[in-house]
Amino acid sequence: MAVALYDLGSAAGLKKLDEHLLTRSYITGYQASKDDITVHEALPGPPSSEFINVSRWYNHIEALLRISGVSAEGCGVIIEGFAPIAEEAVATPPVDETKAAAAEDDDDDDVDLFGEETEEEKKAAEERAAAVKASAKKKESGKSSVLLDVKPWDDETDMQKLEEAVRSIQMEGLLWGASKLVPVGYGIKKMQIMMTIVDDLVSVDTLIEDHLTVEPVNEYVQSCDIVAFNKI
């Protein structure tokens, strides 16, 4: 079912979007989709920090666009007063422009396209290559290694199913590592599990609040705590 939003340039429109994202990581579904891109394009710029959930979502989508892009289709989103540019609209140039381009091609037939590069052209090419390399390096995102304490409800909780439930949570930028059971007392054991995250893609607080301590995982998990957090 399509999500309906309106006037994202106003405080009222941003407030509605903020409320929508209060319990969601994305506009629709459980992964970034074209619905997120549509809303991102409809925003006039980065949202005010007053809208906490919109700011969190906006920064996450910005990071995805820089690193890997978004290709999932989504369920549909309607934004009053905003019409995204259709792909077909830019697919084929007008006939007149095509004819003009063909005429220009005819005029250029006598140009030597394979002449030797001048020193200026070589220098410009080297500068472009250096700029691309620097840009790619800048886009590299940092990673962190995190150790979590995952606590069950009681001594009757099936710890194997608890671990399966935790590892069932999958998202871009999250990689689960080794785990072990640690005695707590009165026959109760907690699970310690390692994970590696891409900092721009995964928020540990959001992972805990929106995934590890909600249904269906909270059938086995009572709470989660961060034991160690180290940059890689």
pLDDT digits (tens, 9 = 90+) for 53-79: 989 999 988 888 888 778 888 888 888
Gyration radius (Cα) of the chain, Å: 25
Distance CA 151, CA 159 (A): 10
Please give the residue that has the higher pLDDT: either 117 or 21: 21
Q: Is the pTM of the predicted complex or chain greater than 0.75?
A: no
Please give the residue that has the higher pLDDT: either 210 or 77: 210
For residue 93, is the peptide bond before it cis, meaning its omega torsion is within 30 degrees of 0?
no
* pLDDT tens readout for residues 166-209: 999 999 999 999 999 999 888 899 999 999 999 899 999 999 99
Check pLDDT > 50 for residue 94: no
Q: What's the pLDDT at 85?
A: 43
Confidence of residue 134 (pLDDT cuts 50, 70, 90): low
Distance CA 21, CA 36 (A): 11
Please give the residue that has the higher pLDDT: either 36 or 105: 36
Q: What's the pLDDT at 93?
A: 43
User: Which tokens go with 32?
Assistant: 């970034």
* pLDDT tens readout for residues 8-50: 888 888 899 899 888 888 888 888 888 899 889 889 889 888 8
Q: What's the pLDDT at 162?
A: 94
Nearest to 213 by CA among 165, 164, 144, 145: 165
Check pLDDT > 70 for residue 146: yes
